[in-house]
Structure 1
Amino acid sequence: MAYSWDNRVTFVVRFLYDIDNNGYLDAHDFQCLALRSCVLEGKGDCSAARLQKYQHIMLSLWEEIAQLADFDKVPDYDGTISVDEFKQAVKNSCVGKRYEDFPQAMKAFIESNFRMIDINDDGVMGVEEYRYDCVQRMVVEDIKVIDDAFDTLLTDDDRKKGGLTLARYQELFAQFLGDEKEDCQAKHLFGPLEI
């Protein structure tokens, strides 16, 4: 059950977007995401130019998500998106689609997320970077659980390259959101889930 499509999308809301952990998404979450992304990519540095770039990416993502999730188009939209509204938006815009067909702002977020994880800037997410990303979000007692999860993501070509390239990460992220099967290859993209 932890790897069902429903739980994977809930994970995205809870651990990637809902920065203030209040159970719904709003513009504040994405403003905070911009700052977090700037600091993490800069390894502590937060230049005005990089922050401005991330503010544009994250606020564009928020506007796109808000538009996709505002199903009834009523004028009294409250400025928040529930987990269920987000799931419906992902179902409508990502399920059964390739990465290239995802909404533009979501693709920009995925690319910036990869850059944050790729700590050494070599263009490959190795096991050490994957471990670091996982332990920031979840409690894990045994590193082997994380390493085993990472190994399930890799093809022989990935192993030759030393991990996941941006293109491969994009492909896996598209599967994580777009493949409704519980046992899709991308189910461990963010580690061993326990939702």
Structure 2
Amino acid sequence: MAYTWDNRVAFVVRFLYDIDNNGYLDAHDFECLAVRACVLEGKGDCSSARLAKYQHIMLSLWEEIAQLADFDKDGKITIDEFKTAVQNSCVGKKYDEFPQAMKAFIESNFRMLDINQDGILGIDEFRYDCVQRMVIEDIEIVNDAFNNLLNDDDRRKGGLTLGRYQELFARFLGDPSENTQAVYLFGPLELA
């Protein structure tokens, strides 16, 4: 049940975008995401140039999501509104067909996760991301999620490249099936 499409999309809202945990998305979440991205990518440093870059990315993402999902134009996007927008703009589509700002977010998210900046999201970085976002009682469930995520080429490379991460992110949102490797992209999911 944790890997259903509905739960995966709710997970994205709850654990990736709703940074202030108020139950809906608004511009404030994306302002805070810009600061978070700047600090994480800079490993504590938050230069004004990097912050300006992330403010542009996150403001663009907010504007695009609001255009696609804020159906009642109240400046807030509920989980149900977000699900409808993802259904309309992502389901059945490849990464290249995703909205531009969402692609920019996915790429910046990969850069934040790639702590050692080697172009590969390895198991240590995957673990680090998972334990920051959710309660983990047993590291083996995180290891299992990572191993289930990988194909043979990923294993040879030692993890996920940006291209593979993009493909899996697109399938995480765009493939309603629970039988895709992409369900493990963010580790062992809880019910959102």
TM-score (normalizing by structure 2): 0.98
Question: CA–CA distance in 2 between the matches of 1:110 and 1:144?
Answer: 26
Question: CA–CA distance in 1 between the matches of 2:4 and 2:32?
Answer: 28
Q: How big is the shift at 1:136? A: 0.4
User: Which residue of structure 2 aligns with residue 94 of structure 1?
Assistant: 90
User: Which residue of structure 1 aligns with residue 114 of structure 2?
Assistant: 118
Question: CA–CA distance in 2 between the matches of 1:85 and 1:71?
Answer: 7
Question: CA–CA distance in 2 between the matches of 1:180 and 1:5?
Answer: 5
Q: In the alignment, residue 105 of structure 1 is paired with which amino acid?
A: A
What is the aligned-residue RMSD (CA, Å)? 0.7
Aligned ranges 1:153-168 → 2 under 5 Å: 153-168=149-164
5+ residue gaps, structure 2: none
2:163 paired with 1:192: no
User: Which residue of structure 1 aligns with residue 37 of structure 2?
Assistant: 37
Aligned ranges 1:47-58 → 2 under 5 Å: 47-58=47-58
Q: In the alignment, residue 21 of structure 2 is paired with which amino acid?
A: N
Q: How big is the shift at 1:142? A: 1.2
Q: In the alignment, residue 17 of structure 2 is paired with which amino acid?
A: Y
Question: CA–CA distance in 2 between the matches of 1:84 and 1:26?
Answer: 14
2:123 paired with 1:127: yes
Q: How big is the shift at 1:71? A: 3.5
Question: CA–CA distance in 2 between the matches of 1:44 and 1:124?
Answer: 21
User: Which residue of structure 2 aligns with residue 2 of structure 1?
Assistant: 2
Q: Percent identity?
A: 79
Q: Secondary structure at the match of 1:136?
A: helix
Number of residues of Structure 1 aligned to a counterpart in Structure 2: 191
Aligned ranges 1:130-141 → 2 under 5 Å: 130-141=126-137
Q: Deviations over 1:169-193 (max 9, x none)?
A: 0000000000001222100100000
Q: Secondary structure at the match of 1:35?
A: helix
Q: In the alignment, residue 126 of structure 1 is paired with which amino acid?
A: G
User: Which residue of structure 2 aligns with residue 11 of structure 1?
Assistant: 11
Question: CA–CA distance in 2 between the matches of 1:66 and 1:154?
Answer: 33
Q: Secondary structure at the match of 1:24?
A: coil
Q: How big is the shift at 1:20? A: 0.4
Q: Which has a greater percent of strand?
A: 1
2:181 paired with 1:182: no
Question: CA–CA distance in 2 between the matches of 1:136 and 1:71?
Answer: 32
Aligned ranges 1:136-147 → 2 under 5 Å: 136-147=132-143
For the 8 Å contact 2:150–2:181, the answer to whether it is kept is: no
Given candidates 104, 111, 131, the residue that maps to 2:100 is 104
2:169 paired with 1:173: yes
TM-score (normalizing by structure 1): 0.97
Q: Deviations over 1:131-184 (max 9, x none)?
A: 000000111111111011000111111011110000000000000000001222
5+ residue gaps, structure 1: none
Question: CA–CA distance in 1 between the matches of 2:147 and 2:69?
Answer: 34
Question: CA–CA distance in 2 between the matches of 1:6 and 1:89?
Answer: 12
